[in-house]
């Protein structure tokens, strides 16, 4: 009060507990996707660079499915803060990867996994037309592709991920009617 500034008090982590990475929540989601890929006979890549440029983009998890000739790019969003920028970033990454596919006949498939939290649910409710246009692929199809190893939809999709429970569930985008 002497310097006319508000005071903020917070609690830190238990100093006696083993240290965790600052991105432990994000890593837990990546770990889940990589484990599911392996269980489905696919090859997973953690933090895959998308180009050889000086400042390459990086995909959270890339999953290679050789029998289906598909490379699945999975972006995980703990909290969506800039929908437009995130969409442009994913489009650039997909284009970069398409330009350097492992062999002819492969295709790139793209999916966002949104961490199931109140902030991300509010964005899905607020911007259903944008999300529906950006992710026309079946969320149910994408959920099955990641969990069961089904062939992913042709079109980009989105699903919920809950790293704590280990669940991936479809996003239901409720578009408003006129």
In sequence order, the 6+-apart residues with CB closer than 8 A to the CB of 141 are 150, 152, 153, 157
Higher model confidence: residue 12 or residue 152?
A: 152
Q: Give this prediction's pTM.
A: 0.84
How much is the average pLDDT of 2-6? Answer: 72
pLDDT higher than 70, residue 11: no
Per-residue confidence (pLDDT) for residue 80, from 0 to 100: 87
Rounded CA separation 24/17 (Å): 14
Please tell me the distance from the alpha carbon of residue 126 to that of residue 7, in angstroms, as a whole number: 34
In-domain check, residue 39: yes
The answer to whether residue 12 sits within a structural domain is no
Residue 6 domain flag: no
Q: What is the CATH number of the domain that holds 101?
A: 3.40.1350.10
At 135 the pLDDT is 95
- For residue 84, is it within any domain? yes
pLDDT 10s digits, 117-153? 999 999 999 999 999 999 999 999 999 999 999 999 9
Q: Does residue 73 sit within a domain?
A: yes
Q: Per DSSP, what are the bridge partners of residue 110?
A: 73
Whether 7 maps to a domain, the answer reads: no
Residue 11 lies in a domain: no
Q: Which domain holds residue 67?
A: 24-170
Number of domains in the chain: 1
What is the per-residue pLDDT across 17-63, written as a single tens digit (0 to 9) for each? 777 777 778 899 999 999 999 999 999 999 898 876 555 689 999 99
Whether residue 76 is contained in a domain is answered as: yes
Q: Give the separation between CA 39 and CA 138, rounded to whole angstroms.
A: 22
- Please give the pLDDT value at position 57: 83
């Amino acid at each position: 009060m002497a310097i006319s500034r508000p005071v903020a008090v917070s609690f830190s982590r238990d100093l006696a507990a083993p240290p965790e990475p600052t991105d432990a929540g994000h890593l837990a989601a990546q770990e889940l996707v990589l484990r599911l890929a392996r269980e489905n006979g696919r090859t997973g890549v953690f933090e895959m660079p998308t180009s050889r440029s000086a400042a390459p983009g990086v995909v959270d998890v890339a999953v290679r499915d050789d029998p289906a000739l598909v490379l699945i790019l999975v972006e995980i969003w703990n909290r969506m803060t800039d929908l437009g920028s995130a969409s442009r970033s994913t489009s650039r990454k997909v284009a970069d990867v398409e330009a350097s596919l492992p062999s002819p006949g492969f295709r790139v498939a793209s999916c966002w996994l949104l961490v199931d939290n109140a902030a991300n649910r509010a964005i899905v409710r607020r911007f259903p037309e944008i999300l529906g246009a950006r992710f026309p692929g079946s969320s149910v199809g994408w959920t099955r592709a990641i969990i069961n190893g089904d062939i992913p939809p042709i079109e980009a999709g989105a699903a919920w991920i809950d790293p704590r429970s280990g669940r991936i569930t479809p996003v239901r985008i409720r578009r408003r009617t006129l």
